[in-house]
Amino acid sequence: MRGILSDRVGAALLMAPLLLFLILAYAWPFLGVVKWSFTLPTPGLGQYHALLTDDLVQSVFIRTLRIAAIVTVVSVTAAYAITVVWVRGSPVQRVLAEFCILVPFWISVLTRAFGWVALLSNRGLINTWLQSIGFISEPLTLVRNEFGVVVGMSHFLIPFAVFPLASAMRSLDERVLLAARGLGSSRMRTFWTVFVPMTRSGIIGSALITFVFSLGFFVTPAILGGGRSVMIAELIYLRIFQSPDWGLGAAISVVLVVFVGALMALLFRYVKPKELV
């Protein structure tokens, strides 16, 4: 009993700094934001009412959901392919895949966004190259639109989408795959009818994490969207820092947090936290 007790106390002590930090730096200020949303500029539900009627806010919400959905599909699909190689490839392939997954974590999100600008802009590498081989005559608009935002965000989120998938693929019983092949199923068929369905929890976890991350993206859409493809986080920023409309910015923040919270609750109904790492 003593052992268990002291273990618990020890665990609580180890967790305490993080918990304290979250309360002081996140929960407490957020309560302030909640307060603003009900009190600025006048007390009441005015800002939430505005939120429901303001066309701009609604279009940004819809765009954010659309981009997040596209980014999720792109990221999870790409991550699935990389993870298959990482978990089940030859030793050399594994090292290569690991490199591709880990290196992006070392490069700042800002650097990566500007990197994509350099690649995708009208006089960027891709357009220059396509023109030089005569494939196109006019540069393609690859950036400062939703396409650029999707590319940049997917690039950022793929490594995060990998981990839940890897965890699901690692816990899969190899013999079940052998059984499928032994029963006459080709590799392709085994992949689609056995392997993919058996990694379902990983796919759900990966998709929800990517989707939730996408909703709050700020830097990447701001740079690659070029102001034409504003997402919700950028809208909050604009409301609070550029137009003195703190109440509306706060209300949007509260709605975003509640929405994300609901998605997380949904996630943990289907997937155990330990399956995600």
Partner 1 sequence: MQQPGRAAEIKANGIGKSFGSFRALDNLSLDIGRGEFLTLLGPSGSGKTTFLMILAGFVQPSEGKLFSDGVDITNRPAEQRAAGMVFQGYALFPHMSVEQNIAFPLKVRKKSAAEIKQRVGEMIERVGLKGHEKKLPAQLSGGQQQRVALARALVFEPGVLLLDEPFSALDKSLRGQMQAEMKRLHQETGTTFVFVTHDQSEALALSSRVAIFNHGKLLQVGRPDEVYDRPANRFVAEFLGEINMLPVKGVRPADNGATGLCEDRAVNMRCKAEAIKGDAILAIRPEDMSIAPEASVNENGIAATAVASTYLGAATKLDLTTRQGAKVTVSVPNEVAAAALSKGNSVWLTWPAEKGFLLPDGGQ
Q: What's the closest the beta carbon of residue 266 comes to partner 1, in angstroms?
A: 20
Question: Considering Cα of 104, then 230, then 46, then 49, what sign does the dihedral take?
Answer: negative
SS3 141: coil
CA nearest neighbour of 233 among 208, 214, 258, 247: 214
Shorter beta-carbon distance to partner 1: residue 102 or 179: 179
Q: Does 173 bind partner 1 (CB under 8 A)?
A: yes
Degrees (nearest 5) of the Cα angle 37, 38, 44? 140
| DSSP code, position 192 | I
Q: Does 197 bind partner 1 (CB under 8 A)?
A: yes
- Of the residues 9, 178, 258, 262, which one makes contact with partner 1 according to CB under 8 A: 178
Q: Does 183 bind partner 1 (CB under 8 A)?
A: yes
- Of the residues 176, 258, 262, 264, which one makes contact with partner 1 according to CB under 8 A: 176
Q: Does 272 bind partner 1 (CB under 8 A)?
A: no
Q: Does 179 bind partner 1 (CB under 8 A)?
A: yes
SS3 151: helix
Say if residues 89 and 129 touch (Cβ distance below 8 Å). no
Say if residues 140 and 158 touch (Cβ distance below 8 Å). no
Say if residues 146 and 67 touch (Cβ distance below 8 Å). yes
Q: Does 198 bind partner 1 (CB under 8 A)?
A: yes
Q: What's the closest the beta carbon of residue 239 comes to partner 1, in angstroms?
A: 46
Count, in order, helices (H) and strands (E) of the chain. Answer: 15, 0
Say if residues 131 and 137 touch (Cβ distance below 8 Å). yes
Shorter beta-carbon distance to partner 1: residue 170 or 228: 170
Q: Does 2 bind partner 1 (CB under 8 A)?
A: no
Q: Does 170 bind partner 1 (CB under 8 A)?
A: no
- Of the residues 182, 242, 272, 277, which one makes contact with partner 1 according to CB under 8 A: 182
Q: Does 244 sit behind a cis peptide bond, omega within 30 degrees of 0 on the bond before it? A: no
Q: Does 184 bind partner 1 (CB under 8 A)?
A: yes
Q: Any long-range contacts for 235-242 (C-beta under 8 Å, 24+ apart)?
A: 235/56, 235/57, 235/60
Shorter beta-carbon distance to partner 1: residue 52 or 183: 183
Per CB under 8 A, which region of 85-93, 99-107, 127-135, 182-190 contacts partner 1?
A: 182-190
Shorter beta-carbon distance to partner 1: residue 3 or 184: 184
Q: What's the closest the beta carbon of residue 164 comes to partner 1, in angstroms?
A: 17
Q: What's the closest the beta carbon of residue 181 comes to partner 1, in angstroms?
A: 5
Q: Does 175 bind partner 1 (CB under 8 A)?
A: yes
Which residues fall within 8 angstroms of residue 277, CB to CB, at 6 or more apart?
163, 164, 167
Q: Using CB under 8 A, list all residues that contact partner 1.
A: 173, 175-176, 178-187, 189, 193-194, 197-198, 200
